[in-house]
Chain A
Amino acid sequence: MLRQNWWKILCVILLLYTFTAGFLGGVPAKPILNETIRNLYFHVAMWFGMMIFLITSVVYAVKYLRTTNPVFDIYSVEYAKTGIAFGVLGLLTGSIWARYTWGDFWSNDPKQLGAAIALLIYFAYLVLRNSMTDIDKRASISAVYNIFAFAMLFPTIWIIPRMVESLHPGGMGNPASFSEKDIDSRMRIIFWFAAVPGWTLFGTWITTLFIRVKFLMEKKLSNA
């Protein structure tokens, strides 16, 4: 997977499709949202990408704890970093979108607060990691912390915002935000088959480059 090319071509094609169909394709006419509903292909796709990268990260963290193979530690931290980057982009794009629909960059919406808390927990993961010099200790402690951070991700961004009143769709125990009243099938096709896989593959591509650079650096260190 790391050095194959077909999925990188697929990534470019899917993103090209997202950028064209995302603006030309039909969308339902909604008050307040108007044309900004197209942000779904970009802003919401960031969050789905983040979820996928953080899941990948925790899987490699568990793998590391089972085998203590340092390769898994590198995989785990690089996927976490990409996940955090996507999350930060999601937060920034969300607050731009919120400014022109809900009236403010930040309105203390439960989902905004939850996402911010989740990201702070993951920032702490990076700080914790970098505070240790012993390689094995760093790898195992950060793998354990990664599992705890992942466990907090679900209540903060999936559960709590759904239980209370929220500006985001899906509050107050409503069914998923992807119901007929929010988007239609034209948007769903572009979102699920182009935007989410396209952005996720793009993030994966960047992550694999970082992993390969890290391997090269490790090799250089062990040779020196």
Chain B
Amino acid sequence: MPRKIYNLLLMMAGLAFSLTCNAQDSVASKKVEMADAFRANGKIFVVIAVLITILFGLMLYMIRLDRKIGKLEKENKK
């Protein structure tokens, strides 16, 4: 008799455990985790400000290089 009760309890525990597994699976497939908070609190703009600054700096550098080569070409034509 005690063995039967033990088996029954084990089965119920297993069943309950599998239920929680299922529940987590369905939640995960419904909601894919995205960085929504990062956008909501505006911190994303800090990242964008840094990126834009670097991009601007690099572009200014490119323009300077372009101008320098242009100058050399002019001197060479003379």
Contact = CB atoms under 8 A, between A and B. Distances in A.
Contact of A209 (B31, B32, B52, B65): B65
Interface of A: 3, 8, 12, 15-16, 19-20, 23-24, 27, 29-31, 34-35, 205-206, 209, 212-213, 215-216, 219
B76 interface: yes
Interface residues of B, number: 24
B69 interface: yes
21 contacts: A3-B70, A12-B59, A15-B59, A19-B48, A19-B55, A20-B52, A23-B48, A24-B44, A27-B34, A29-B31, A30-B32, A31-B28, A31-B32, A34-B35, A35-B34, A35-B35, A205-B66, A206-B62, A212-B73, A213-B69, A216-B76
Majority SS at the chain A contact face? helix
A8 B35 contact: no
Given A12-B59, A212-B73, 18 more contacts: A8-B62, A8-B63, A8-B66, A12-B55, A15-B55, A24-B44, A24-B48, A31-B28, A31-B29, A34-B32, A34-B34, A35-B34, A35-B35, A205-B62, A209-B65, A215-B73, A216-B73, A216-B76
Interface of B: 28-29, 31-35, 39, 44, 47-48, 51-52, 55, 59, 62-63, 65-66, 69-70, 72-73, 76
Question: Chain B: interface secondary structure?
Answer: helix
Given A19-B52, A29-B32, A24 B76 contact: no
